[in-house]
Amino acid sequence: MPNEKPTSGLIAAPVPAPARRSRGAKKGIRITDVAASAGVSPITVSRVFNAPETVAPETLSRVRQAVAQLGYVPNRLAGGLSSAKSRLIAAIVPTVAHSLFSETVQVFSDTMSRAGYQVLLGLSGYSDEDEDQLLDAVLSRRPEGVLLTGVAHAASLRERLLKVGIPIVETWDMTDEPIDMLVGFSHYRIGAAVAERLLARGARHPALVSANDDRALARRRGFVDTFAAHGVQDIAEVLVPPPSSVALGRDGLQRIVAERPDTDAVFCSSDLLALGVVSQARKLGVAVPGRIAVCGFGDLEFAADTAPALTTVRVDGKRIGVTAARCLIDRLAGAGEKKVIDVGFELVERETT
């Protein structure tokens, strides 16, 4: 269901037979390198990963420090296959509970499969810690490339990914400093575009019902900054934990109307929240869009079929998936290069504004 709480973890792991590494491929950091750096034997390094309780705390700390500095990833596929290709690509997304990410994952997997690669899908939820732990498990299976959602990662994870030495494509966001390749769009510009539209409609008492994850908060900043540039400083807002739900949207509008009865526009960080806002407005006898304009994000399946039909922001998730896959395929074939691709977005205006 769309409002189910995602759990982090691996949910598919097809691993084909390994093939020989092509000549000239970059060699990874070996366990012997870690051992030399930490001043211990390779078997001690192995124990740090497989039985850390048997290693003295000082030695444990020294080895882990060497691992972090070198960017070493243990190979748990097979002891003698460190030079083998896995034909495995890891895709890490927060959730597949609704089509925002699921369509991207589907076309990404299909495109990689046609090129002879299998995709290992991991659900990270919305936590940096969960993403870090999941990536550790994924990287130990020696994928040849990684797809990530978003560009906000823990500093330690980002540093590690920079050292791994495999192609990485970040998606669903935009930054001037990607880890490697990037296929996405600007959440900040989305918030700004929605604010501009609501300002043109005459909104002067705007409100936000937004999740508090990094991407939703970037849209919030664009929205707030644009209203501020037009002299509107006071914006009511309700921040909710992801994942979004209709119930959270209903509660959000209830709180906003109670505190700011003059609210004339609400921007929601997802269509589910927006659907809840519209539903609660109807219950309270508040006309949409006559009294309050409402805009969502995602253009989910129901957005065009609600009554009134929901104004929202559409992002081409399928294009993101296909483009990200092609970036990885080209790089793995030796023809790709570091690139940033902005797929843009579309403000789809319907009856709620």
Confidence (pLDDT) at 278: 98
Q: Report, as an integer, the average pLDDT of 315-330.
A: 96
Entry pTM: 0.77
Same fold, 30-72 and 187-314: no
Lowest mean pLDDT among 124-128, 201-205, 342-346: 124-128
Query: Domain ranges in the chain?
Result: 9-29+84-185+319-343, 30-72, 187-314
**What superfamily would CATH give domain 187-314?**
Response regulator (3.40.50.2300)
100 pLDDT tier (thresholds 50, 70, 90): confident
The span from the CA of 127 to the CA of 84, in Å, is 32
Confidence (pLDDT) at 10: 53
Confidence (pLDDT) at 29: 85
Domain topology for 30-72: 434 Repressor (Amino-terminal Domain) (1.10.260)
Instruction: Pick 327 or 126 by higher pLDDT.
Output: 327
CATH code matching the domain that covers 9-29+84-185+319-343, chosen among 3.90.226.10, 3.20.20.480, 3.40.50.300, 3.40.50.2300:
3.40.50.2300
Cα-based distances in Å from 190 to 166, 239, 268, 314: 31, 18, 12, 10
Instruction: For Cα atoms 328, 102, 113, give the angle at the middle one, nearest 5 degrees.
Output: 40
The span from the CA of 314 to the CA of 250, in Å, is 22
**Residue 100 backbone zone (phi > 0: left; psi -120 to 50: alpha; other: beta):** alpha
Structure tokens given for 33: 């390198």
Query: Which residues, 6 or more positions from 266, have their beta carbon under 8 angstroms from its beta carbon?
Result: 206, 207, 208, 209, 253, 256, 274, 277, 292, 293, 294, 295
Percent of the chain, pLDDT > 70? 90
**Minimal CA–CA distance to 127: which of 92, 159, 169?**
92
Q: Report, as an integer, the average pLDDT of 2-13.
A: 47
Confidence (pLDDT) at 189: 98
Up-side HSE of residue 142: CA atoms within 13 Å toward CB?
24
Instruction: Tell me the per-residue pLDDT of 221-253, one tens digit each, with 9 for 90 and over.
Output: 999 999 999 999 999 999 999 889 999 999 999
